[in-house]
């Protein structure tokens, strides 16, 4: 909009400057005579030409006014467009700033969450390190136990070898004892055979004694003397030699003890 025209400096009034004073000798307004405003007589130009000039001047003034108004409207529209663009740009900037602030808040939340995760991971790493230290201690104790078990295994192997050697010795002794037992059994069988033979001979001698008693009773002969007993011992002596008697006396108790 166009600014209002300002009055000339001479007509400006303010609270500090009083209005101009008029002289009292001036005639009143009613004493002035009107002056004709027709300038056609003064200029000497024809009236139609003057009207044409006035129309042209009016058209020029109207064209200039239209151009000025159009320029003002275009400027106003352009200014409003620029204002709208500025508002849109400011709105976009505000949205971008808001998005950036949201991203900043999100980044802060993410960094806080990442920091918490890092702290949790640090705690887990510390726990894993403690567990690793405990596992290392357990591994060392297990290694010590393995070494002790290896030593015990070596000792057990030595003892097993000793036991095996002792078992071999015992097995040899048992084998020899079996052989001795077999020999003793064979000797016992032979002794049983000899004893059976001796018992048979004694039975025969007893029969002979019984027959001799019957003969003596029938012939009324005197009783058997020491000479007849000696003869009986002489008869029995070829059946069981003195060496076999000694052998039986020594072997039979040992066989009975072994059995």
CA 156 to chain centre: 40
The domain of 235 spans 178-258
Lowest mean pLDDT among 72-81, 98-107, 132-141, 193-202: 193-202
For residue 188, is it within any domain?
Answer: yes
For residue 16, is it within any domain?
Answer: no
For residue 235, is it within any domain?
Answer: yes
For residue 234, is it within any domain?
Answer: yes
Q: Does residue 6 surpass a pLDDT of 90?
A: no
For residue 243, is it within any domain?
Answer: yes
Average pLDDT over residues 64-84: 92
For residue 195, is it within any domain?
Answer: yes
- Number of structural domains found in the chain: 1
Tell me the pLDDT band of 1, cut-offs 50, 70 and 90: very low
For residue 231, is it within any domain?
Answer: yes
For residue 33, is it within any domain?
Answer: no
* pLDDT 10s digits, 137-174: 888 888 888 898 888 888 888 888 888 888 888 888 88
Output the pLDDT for position 80: 92
Average pLDDT over residues 41-62: 77
């Amino acid at each position: 909009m166009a600014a209002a025209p300002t009055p000339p400096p001479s007509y400006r009034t303010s609270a500090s400057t009083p209005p101009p004073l008029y002289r009292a000798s001036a005639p009143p307004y009613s004493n002035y005579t009107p002056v004709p405003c027709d300038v056609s007589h003064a200029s000497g130009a024809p009236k139609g030409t003057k009207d044409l000039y006035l129309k042209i001047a009016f058209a020029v003034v109207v064209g200039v006014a239209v151009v000025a108004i159009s320029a003002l409207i275009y400027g106003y529209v352009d200014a409003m467009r620029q204002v709208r663009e500025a508002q849109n740009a400011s709105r976009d900037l505000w949205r971008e700033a808001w998005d950036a602030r949201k991203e900043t808040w999100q980044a802060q939340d993410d960094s806080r969450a990442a920091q918490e995760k890092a702290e949790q991971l640090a705690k887990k790493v510390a726990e894993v390190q403690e567990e690793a230290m405990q596992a290392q201690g357990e591994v060392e104790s297990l290694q010590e136990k393995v070494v002790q078990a290896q030593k015990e295994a070596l000792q057990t192997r030595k003892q097993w070898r000793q036991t095996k050697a002792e078992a071999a010795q015992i097995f040899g002794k048992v084998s020899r004892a079996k052989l001795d037992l077999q020999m003793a059994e064979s000797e016992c069988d032979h002794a049983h055979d000899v004893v059976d033979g001796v018992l048979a001979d004694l039975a025969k001698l007893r029969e002979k004694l019984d027959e001799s008693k019957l003969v003596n009773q029938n012939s009324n002969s005197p009783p058997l003397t020491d000479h007849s007993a000696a003869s009986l011992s002489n008869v029995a002596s070829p059946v069981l030699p003195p060496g076999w008697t000694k052998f039986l006396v020594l072997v039979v108790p040992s066989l009975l003890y072994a059995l």
